[in-house]
Structure 1
Amino acid sequence: MKTTENNKTNNQEKSNTMKNIAIGVLAVCAVGLGAFALVQSSEKTELKQQLAAYEEQYGLQSAEQMESYREIEQNLASISMHEGNIRENMNLEGVEDPKARISAEIQAIEDLIAKNNQIIEDLNKKVEHKDSRLSAYKAENGKLKTRLETYKEEMTKLEALNAELADNLEKTKELNNTLERTVNNQDSTLIAKENLIAEQDQKLHRAYYLVGDHKELKEKNIVNKEGGILGIAAAKELNPKVNEEVFTEIDLRFLKRIPVYKKNAEIVTNHPSGSYKIVSEGNTIQWIEIKDPAKFWEKSKFLVVATKDSWI
């Protein structure tokens, strides 16, 4: 009987011991799980904080990128405008000194390319992942540089062309000056010849006449007479030493009437009778009409008319 009771007692003690052990293990596990949950919660909070900071930083970086992109695009638009100005000036052949204008446009483009390169370089330092837009901008800048070299070559050609045109213009001016001097000299020579011809022509057709009474003719030593009285059986001839200044000079081609306005008159010098006509009106001789100038002036270019009043 005692043995049976002892066994029951022992079994009861073992059972109590196992319960205590289980309770201890559960307590330890509960503490461990609580500590793990606490760690997990702390890490989760830290991750959330890091993510918020990253998102804030990424958002600021993205806004900065977009502003840089806009600046690059604006610079490219300005470059396009300057390129248009270059092409316009390239087409103005012969315009005086287009180099200054084209050089200014090229310099502006170079400055804008340099700005874009700097922006791209700064963005590449800040952006860790590959950005296709930055690559495209960088490629565009490379193309722009190539086009600038072409513009510079074209400007050099244009400058050479303008220099050639300026040289040709200068030569043309010199040639024009030479031609102008030649023409002026020829004009002067021609004028001199024309003046000489006119003078010779005037001399060729120059004639002189004088109407006066005997006293006047004698005083002026115009006519020599031999024997008799002037107009009555007297030989009359022009004094070879006559002074032309006392005569009236005429152009025999145009003057066809020699005015007299005396009652009586006689032509002293030698002129063919058929070449002229004495025209009277009432008792007064009005004029001597020259019917044939060539024949009238053939023997003498001097005409002396003595009026009746001089006959004594």
Structure 2
Amino acid sequence: MNKKQISTIIIAAVIVVVAVIGGVYVYTQKEAQLKSLASEKSDLFQQMQMKDSVLNDMENTFAEIEKNLTFVKEKRSQLSIETGEGVKNQKEELVSDIALMNTMLDESSKKIEELEAKLKKSGINLHAFERRIAALNESINSQNSQIAELQQLVEQKDFQIAEFETKVNELNAAMTVQNDSLSRESGRLVERTNELNTGHVAYGTYKELRDKGLLDKEGGFLGIGSNKVVNNNLDEDYFTSLDIRDTKIIPLHTKKAEVISEHPSDSYSLVEEEGQIAYLQIDNPQEFWKISKYAVIEVK
């Protein structure tokens, strides 16, 4: 074997080694990117679950507080003061009723404290709800102060009936405002929950979706080898909204269909009937909508 042949073999061996090293490097980088993406998706899913849990807890807690405050309001409306021989016994009943109302308000305060602690621990940015909880705390503290004043009046030997009735009326009015506030807050919580469970679907030919600003192509050369991608800025007017808790089927009725938006491939199926794609079946709603609440489907 002459020197020229040996040199050729060495050069070929070097090229092979470089190619192998390059391949290993590219594979390692891709694997690291995939692991990073999987970790980000897992963190996002956990955050969504935590947010849903906190919102549900808030809704349940506000319902319990509203129930307690309604009870207090009804109990106060039943208070009455009589004159004559039954004043002493009635006074004892009033003291007992006020003690019960104090207990109910204390329970409401504790529930709000627990909810505040859970919000802080979760780290979720819900400043609007935190401000309303703080306002409710102030209102309950104010009510407690007024009940304490009322209790002192009841315990006084010569309290004035008219003054007592005025206090009761003022407290009833305050409790009405409090109940109205809680009702509005419950409505906002329901609205927020519905928003978190709303998905959006748009389908059409590539040209239709492109003209609406939903799809575009990137990469490639002169249209060759390019990939279809969903635009970042989507116009919701071109989407149909649906409740992801109830919707399992998206009708298509087309020869071919392709899901362009990012959804796990094992979370849905394209079902054929009579030689065409009849509909998209969502097999796992939680997985299907986990990455994006916007589904874009190209039909042909």
Name the TM tier (shorter chain). Answer: 0.3 to 0.5
TM-score (norm 1): 0.42
Determine which structure has greater relative contact order: mean sequence separation of CA pairs < 8 Å that are 6+ residues apart, divided by chain length.
Answer: 2
TM-score (norm 2): 0.43
Larger Rg: 1
